[in-house]
Amino acid sequence: MLSERVALVTGPARGLGQEFAVALAAAGHPVAGLDIADMSETRSRVAAAGGRFRGFSADVTDEEAVNQAVAAAAEAFGGLHIVVNNAGIYPPIEFEKTTLAEWQRIMRLNLDGPFLVSRAALPFLRAAGWGRIVNIASAVVFLGPPDLVAYTTSKAGLIGFTRALATAVGADGITVNAIAPGLTATATATATTGAEGGFERVRALQAVPRTGRPDDLVSTLLYVCGEGSGFLTGQTINVDGGSARH
């Protein structure tokens, strides 16, 4: 089991965020969750895995709410060490049908959110002298699908954020990395892409011809957050079955 480090996961109510929260808790990390949705299912799954979880209601695009929730999480668990910026949206919209309001909403959640959460968490990571910030990007950055222009742009920005922030905080014992998943079988992904059509199209691009599973990403997350990963920073790890080779 990894040494106990307090983790904070955004968007843990469902999908990959829930899988990440459960996996970190099962590995021995107390986990705080930031979400505006009901986190009771996550709490139950963490308890069943023998872990500890506390949910804090916060919209990650609301600066004041984020500052208060991150501080409350650190106080509840006696510190903060790991931040997983997972919350995001990926609505497929044709570029010419994308309104400015839709574009701004995607940017706020997918890019402003990680900025606000990371900034709020940074004093606690610096105080601990040890930290892991993990941003959940997307393999679409390397593929550029035509119906995800806004989403792809937001995730490309997140990769740039990862690289620059890694440089800014490396001397403090804090690493910053991104994980870029391909399309992964979760209830959220199925609701967005359809039960089979989206997965079938993506599988045709992959070197590994199966649908991605949450555990494919969990193993990478635990590695990036591990005690022995302190020399890995500013990197984007693509976990997509080889659909994008870069």
Residue 151: active-site member: yes
Going by the DSSP 8-state scheme, the letter that residue 83 receives in this structure is: E
Q: What is the CA radius of gyration of the chain?
A: 17
Residue tagged 């995001």 (tokens)? 88
CB 218 within 8 A of CB 239: no
Which residue among the candidates 20, 77, 151, 199 is catalytic per the annotation?
A: 151
Amino acid at 163: R
**For residue 199, what are the β-bridge partners?**
none
User: Is the separation of the CB atoms in 165 and 111 below 8 Å?
Assistant: no
**Size (the chain), residues:** 246
Instruction: Give every CB contact of residue 149 below 8 A, 6+ residues apart in sequence.
Output: 93, 95, 98
Question: Which positions are catalytic?
Answer: 151
